[in-house]
Amino acid sequence: MSSSDASPGRGGREQAATAKPPMRDALVAAAFRLFLERGYEQTTVDDIVALAGVGRRSFFRYFPSKEDVVFPDHERCLADMTAFLSSGTDDDEPVRRVCDAARLVLRMYAENPTFSVQRYRLTRKVPGLRAYELSVVWRYERALAQYLRARFAGRPDGTLRADVVAAAVVAAHNNALRSWLRSDGQGDAGAAVDHALGHVQEAFGRPPAGPPSAPAGQWSGRDEGQDDVVVVVSRRGAPLWRVVQEIESTLGRD
């Protein structure tokens, strides 16, 4: 399953990257050079600013703490994700939309494989950075869940479903991302993430538009709208949300 035209494009990212202040980039570069040479714990903010040739106040203008310099792009990516989600319409299939939003994170990592792999190794070694990363991941998951809660509002178990889908999307994305990072950034990260997110869309999303996944003819009544009769067969124990979801997806409605 590949990312659609509705996915965030790549042009804006390069533009944004170019617009980043050079001093900020210099601080990140200096910090990572020292982290790799001496270790994270053994490197102070004073060491970083000395190597970058700037004062301490310049560092803290860009980064609240030493931990933040390890993850310099997550705030921007979170903002991009929130903007992407809020720019959608009610016609967007919600699960597909959050999968596309998750691809923004992958794109940030894939823009600079060497840096991403270095950071991955560093984060494995330093418990404080691992905790920081967990809090970042949690914020992405919350952003996705909030979007889904709004889209599922009024549906039975809407917030439950939103939370579960958001967690599943993040887990699938991170499963593929981590495999790519462990392989030192070899291979096609985008294809791996698409495959992983496809798994979640299969479990929770509506069948994608376009060529139906079922054999031709099987869904032939779907396009005929008002003339259709819908017959629902459900196991006795099936929850109502599941039945409603199946009807909605069959009718191609949200």
Binding site for its own copies (CB under 8 A): 1, 130-131, 134-135, 138, 157, 159-161, 163-164, 166-168, 170-172, 174-176, 195-196, 198-200, 202-204, 207, 213-215, 217-224, 227-239, 241-243, 245-247, 249-251
CB of 38 to its own copies, least distance (A): 26
* Residue 114 neighbours by CB under 8 Å, 6+ apart: 185
137 SS3 class: helix
Q: Which of 6/167 has CB closer to its own copies?
A: 167
CB of 105 to its own copies, least distance (A): 15
Q: Which of 131/150 has CB closer to its own copies?
A: 131
| Cα–Cα distance measured from residue 134 to residue 71, given in angstroms and rounded to the nearest whole number | 12
CB of 178 to its own copies, least distance (A): 9
Q: Which two tokens stand for residue 10?
A: 């790549």
| Cα–Cα distance measured from residue 142 to residue 134, given in angstroms and rounded to the nearest whole number | 12
CB neighbour burial string for 108-140, b if at least 16 within 10 angstroms, e if fewer? bbbeeeebbbbbbebbeebeebeebbeeebeeb
CB of 32 to its own copies, least distance (A): 23
Q: Which two tokens stand for residue 221?
A: 């009544």
Q: Which of 33/128 has CB closer to its own copies?
A: 128
Extended strands (E) in 78-154: none
Q: Which of 14/228 has CB closer to its own copies?
A: 228
CB of 126 to its own copies, least distance (A): 13
Contact between 49 and 60 (Cβ < 8 Å): no
Q: Which of 60/138 has CB closer to its own copies?
A: 138
- Give CA separation, 53 vs 50, 57, 59, 61, 115, in Å: 5, 12, 11, 15, 21
Count of C-beta atoms within a 10 Å radius of residue 64: 10
CB of 127 to its own copies, least distance (A): 9
| Cα–Cα distance measured from residue 188 to residue 59, given in angstroms and rounded to the nearest whole number | 35
CB of 33 to its own copies, least distance (A): 28
Q: Which of 22/127 has CB closer to its own copies?
A: 127
83 SS3 class: helix
Q: Which of 100/163 has CB closer to its own copies?
A: 163
